[in-house]
A = this chain, B = another copy of it.
């Protein structure tokens, strides 16, 4: 705010784009080699820039990792919010989002897990990592009133994501949805075979 005229400083504007590029390159490195593979040099090489430019934007490696995790978390949070706002069957939407972790979204989910593991050790990252869980809790609160059910949905989401990342064969969406529904307390009896639920 403050620059109601369309004029922007082309230098800082370019800087913003560079920053985003570097974060993107960082996520690519995390995806390929894990958080341990993130160095100023590897990130710079991934982005096709000199090492010192990466240092210019992120003075320490920690800054870089914090920014990368925040970026991933923001995307996930936004998607959950989209489900909350524009989706009717919210649990189904969450199930589909989680299920992506086994397929096209696997790399992102892996990066997110790598970085949120760092969060347990670095206090600066903790609020960011908690944000994801809070947005899932918000979604769950739209489905059930019981606080314990909300906690169960959040916990199940975490665990399902882990399972999807670690298991060889991906679980079907119906399974993910079923577990979430059960955690929410919406399901009493198991649907043997192909259930035409509700």
Contacts and interface: CB of A to CB of B under 8 A. Distances in A.
A127 to B, nearest CB: 10
A138 to B, nearest CB: 15
Interface string A148-165: 110110111111101101
Interface string A114-152: 101111110000100110010000000000001111011
A72 interface: no
Copies in the complex: 2
Nearest to A174: B148
Nearest to A109: B120
Contacts of A113: 117, 120
Interface in A143-198: 146-149, 151-152, 154-160, 162-163, 165-168, 171, 175, 178-179, 182-183, 185-191, 197
A91 interface: no
Contact of A152 (B110, B147, B154, B156): B156
B166 A119 contact: yes
Q: Which of A149, A154, A175, A185 has the most CB of B within 10 A?
A: A185
B121 A110 contact: yes
A36 interface: yes
Interface residues of A, number: 49
Given A155-B158, A159-B159, A183-B156, A166 B129 contact: yes
Interface string A23-62: 0000000000011100000000000000000000000000
20 contacts: A110-B121, A114-B117, A148-B182, A149-B188, A149-B190, A152-B179, A154-B159, A155-B155, A155-B159, A155-B160, A156-B156, A156-B159, A156-B183, A159-B159, A182-B183, A182-B185, A182-B188, A186-B188, A188-B190, A188-B191
